[in-house]
Chain A
Amino acid sequence: MSAATAQVPSRATPRATSRGATQVLFDAPGPKGRRRILLLSVVSAVVILGVLAAGLWTFAENGELDPDKWVVYLRADYLAFLGHGLLGTLKVTAVAAVVAFPAGLLLALARMSRLSVLSRASTVWIEFFRGIPMLLVVYAFLLALPAYGVTFPRFWMLVIPMILVSAASTAEVFRAGIKAVDVGQHEAAAAIGLGRRHALVHVILPQAVRLVLPSLILALVTLLKDSTLGYVVSYNELQFQGKTMVSITRYLVQTYLVVSLIYIVINFLLTRVALALDARMKARASAG
């Protein structure tokens, strides 16, 4: 047996299934295979570095690597300007999440309700807002409603569409979570004399909320991404703040790269937390 397969725990252990087939797609290479992999590594590394170098070259050719255009992002006032935008982004995301997640839970419960009117109405609502782009909802608040004399502050023109869209998608998350709670838990709750509502509140939901935690963190990532539509409604979040900065400094590529990098770092960390939480829960579930 080769070294590569030896690293994979035997299939009887629960971890083997979570590791999956990617671990055994190739043998531990022999001398010939190692030479070939080394050759491929060198070739691919050269190609990748070549592409990156070509990218940097075009940047330099067009004067975009000029240090003067980059060091400004270390200046306190520039940082404060973008920091103000980041604060706006976080505020928008937090408010939207605080409203959208409970609303999503309510929508999920409505969809699973025995009242067919309520269930059907919430199904239509959820599928509608999951199926259309948030930009369309933003435009409804930005362009359509003012025509009927209904106007909102810019903050809410961004946050309300975020809530509507996010509540619909988290409703499906909660529904999947409630469904994922073991049937035995329902039976046990019924056996100790709990009614449907009490069983839901005291037995099912506490477990469901734990199950959906990783997905809710990803919903937070989606909200952060959606908050960039502040660019469209002119609310002072990070992306729009970047736009303002570009119109002042004219350092377009640099500003938008810095702004994108901030989003990438935050979302990367959040996604990491979600994946780690998910892996821990799966490991615990399969351990018994």
Chain B
Amino acid sequence: MQPIVENIPLLAQGIAYTVALTLLGYGLALVVGTALAVCRVSPVPPLRWAATVYVEIFRNIPLLSLLILIAFGLPDVGLRLPYFWCGVLGLTLSSAAFVCENVRSGINTVPVGHAEAARSIGLGFFGTLRHVVLPQAFRSMIQPLVNVFIGTVIGSALCSAIAVSEVTWVTQTLNIQYAQAVLMFLVAGAVYLGMSLGGAALGGMIERAVSPGGRGSGPSRSTGALDVTAGAQA
């Protein structure tokens, strides 16, 4: 336990970085991803094409390759960002592609009649999306979006490869210093498992709150394992 007690500030900083990377990356990805999804279903062809190209690039590039490009490549073209923000940028760009695809397939779960009904009472493209389709689609998007959150949590570990001193980096540094491997892995593992499980629990709560009748346990995250619409997040 001694290595932990002696390095509480360092560990706390590492955990804070991991939490900040995840929350910032995921929060921004929700905004960017939803905007991309709106572009992908919009009647404006250039926006549709651009969003499609974006998704195909960023859901297929390995996160580590993306982070390396951002952290070490951007300075070469004259853009200097602190490594932490490189991490946030990489996580956002990557997760946004998966958010976009999940939002889009969520929109597809809303029965066609609802969109037709919304249009027939005179709502336009944004009105239909905002008042009728997205609120209903949101319900079926919660579990996939929880999976994107877990993907972001796990992805944040890769930021240690671009010298962000988040929890993986901190525990491995201490590991080399103290040779207390088991202890350090327990700490890091607990942080990641805690965040993943916490996110899943929160998602379940939101899902129960918005499901009609206020009950009905939502599908567990394993049942979505056969859904391939969004592609593979690493």
Contacts and interface: CB of A to CB of B under 8 A. Distances in A.
A256 B112 contact: no
Contact of B158 (A44, A133, A263): A133
Nearest to B191: A132
Nearest to A58: B77
B64 A228 contact: yes
Contacts of A139: 168, 172, 175
Contacts of B181: 140, 143-145, 147-148
Nearest to A147: B179
Contacts of A148: 181
A35 to B, nearest CB: 12
Contact of A253 (B61, B73, B223): B73
Nearest to A220: B232
Interface string A26-63: 11010001000100110011001000000000110110
Contact of B119 (A24, A64, A134, A176): A24
Contacts of B73: 252-253, 256-257
Contacts of B135: none
A221 B77 contact: no
Contacts, number: 226
Given A139-B172, A228-B62, A263-B61, A40 B44 contact: yes
A8 to B, nearest CB: 6
B115 A144 contact: no
Nearest to A265: B60
B226 A211 contact: yes
Contacts of A23: 112
B64 A214 contact: no
A128 B60 contact: no
A232 interface: yes
A162 B185 CA distance: 17
A20 interface: yes
A113 interface: no
Contacts of A271: 59-60, 231-232
Given A172-B222, A218-B231, A136 B157 contact: yes
Contact of A21 (B57, B63, B108, B233): B108
A222 B122 CA distance: 44
A136 B226 contact: no
A123 to B, nearest CB: 10
A61 B78 contact: yes
Given A26-B124, A267-B60, A135 B112 contact: no
Contacts of B57: 264
Contact of B77 (A133, A218, A253): A253
Given A20-B112, A21-B115, A48 B46 contact: yes
A222 B234 contact: yes
A106 B64 CA distance: 30
A224 B232 CA distance: 10
Given A131-B197, A136-B185, A21 B111 contact: yes
Given A58-B79, A143-B176, 16 more contacts: A21-B137, A22-B41, A25-B107, A48-B46, A48-B50, A64-B76, A133-B158, A172-B225, A211-B226, A221-B60, A225-B232, A231-B64, A232-B161, A267-B232, A271-B60, A271-B231
Nearest 4 interchain pairs by C-beta: A20-B108, A133-B157, A144-B181, A225-B234
